[in-house]
Amino acid sequence: MICPKKKTDRYGQLIWIVMLTAGLVLAPVRLPAAEFNGYVSLTTDYVYRGVTRSDGHGAVQLGADLSFDAGFYVGVWASTVDIGNNVTSQRDREINYYAGYSYEWSDRWIIGGSIVAYSFPGAFGALDYDHEEFSVSLSFDDRLWFEYSQSPDYYGTGTRTHNYELFAEWPLAARLSLSTGIGQFDVSEFAGDSYTHWQVGISRPLNRLDIDLRYHDTSRWVPRISNPERAKARVVLSARFQF
């Protein structure tokens, strides 16, 4: 019988360390008041890098962050999930803590870096699913983005993962926007393989409500990461209300 793996509270501590470090660095600088952004989302499917994390069902998601004119930001994001490989492994909730910094290199170029601590409260199984991921990004004219992410200790196994992602967005008539993205998730150290994931969708803001209709697909399913059902093509409709 596989017993639940004990989790630690290193993620909250990690974010506090990042915030404290930023505070010490910026101590001589008088920061303006932070800008708060909060939202709640309803989606027909929670898809992460082409793979469903809600077993093809709907999910409820909440998020909030604080951003400063100096470029720093911190936040938290949570979602219902349904990830179960068998009766000995299950995840029902996901809470992510993140912090980062973005710098306006020029009027059109922005570079940034961030850290995300993924946690799955109440999860049980042979692995410690909680892990951290570090990212660097480059964006052009708020229309084209490239991001590289690495997790140095994926699921507590001591293996590294790499994700390379390119995303683009174009404005259309009637306040619509078209966006698409493609990425490569390299989990070869953990699962012996990698896969390509892509998406394309259309969205429209309605005051504080954003509506998004999106198609997701992958090149293949990878053992220990997904299965044929979870990695198949799917269409997702989402609504996000900002407050």
Is residue 3 in some structural domain? Answer: no
Is residue 193 in some structural domain? Answer: yes
Is residue 95 in some structural domain? Answer: yes
What residue has token string 């920061």? 31
- Domain containing 123: what range? 10-242
Is residue 213 in some structural domain? Answer: yes
Reported pTM: 0.87
Q: Determine the pLDDT at residue 1.
A: 31
**Ranges of H-type helices in the chain:** 10-25, 188-191
Name the 3-class secondary structure at 208. coil
What residue has token string 């793979």? 51
In this structure, what CATH number is given to the domain that contains residue 143? 2.40.160.40
Rounded to the nearest 5°, which phi and psi values hold at 93? -140, 150
Q: Tens-of-pLDDT digits for all 243 residues of the chain?
A: 333 344 445 555 555 555 544 554 444 445 557 899 999 999 999 999 999 999 999 999 999 999 998 899 999 999 999 988 665 678 999 999 999 999 999 999 999 999 999 999 998 888 899 999 999 999 999 999 999 999 999 999 999 999 999 999 999 999 999 999 999 999 999 999 999 999 999 999 999 999 999 999 999 999 999 999 999 999 999 999 999
* Model confidence pLDDT, tens digit, residues 185-226: 999 999 999 999 999 999 999 999 999 999 999 999 999 999
Is residue 66 in some structural domain? Answer: yes
Contacts of 241 (CB under 8 A, 6+ apart): 39, 40, 41, 208, 209
Total count of domains within the chain: 1
Is residue 5 in some structural domain? Answer: no
Instruction: Calculate ∠ Cα 114-18-130, nearest 5°.
Output: 70
Do the Cβ atoms of 49 and 220 come closer than 8 Å?
Answer: no
